[in-house]
Structure 1
Amino acid sequence: MEEPIIKHEEERRKDHVENNEVWRKSNHPCIRK
């Protein structure tokens, strides 16, 4: 039962990092292609 919890946390962390990257890209129009 601990495995799924860890997997879920890892996924959530990945999602958070992706969201942060998207937000940073949105904040930096210069980087946008």
Structure 2
Amino acid sequence: MKAKRRKFSAGFKAKVAIEALKERESLAELSKRFGV
């Protein structure tokens, strides 16, 4: 059985992208913090 695909809002994606551009944390740390 397939797992359901998760859907993220545009606002959530923008918030994560802005944090990634700041480069204060690695991508792994960001994904852990935001639960991606």
TM exceeding 0.5: no
Structure with greater proportional helix content: 1
Query: Which has the higher relative contact order, 1 or 2, with Cα contacts under 8 A spaced 6 or more apart?
Result: 2
The TM-score normalised by the length of structure 2 is 0.40
The TM-score normalised by the length of structure 1 is 0.44
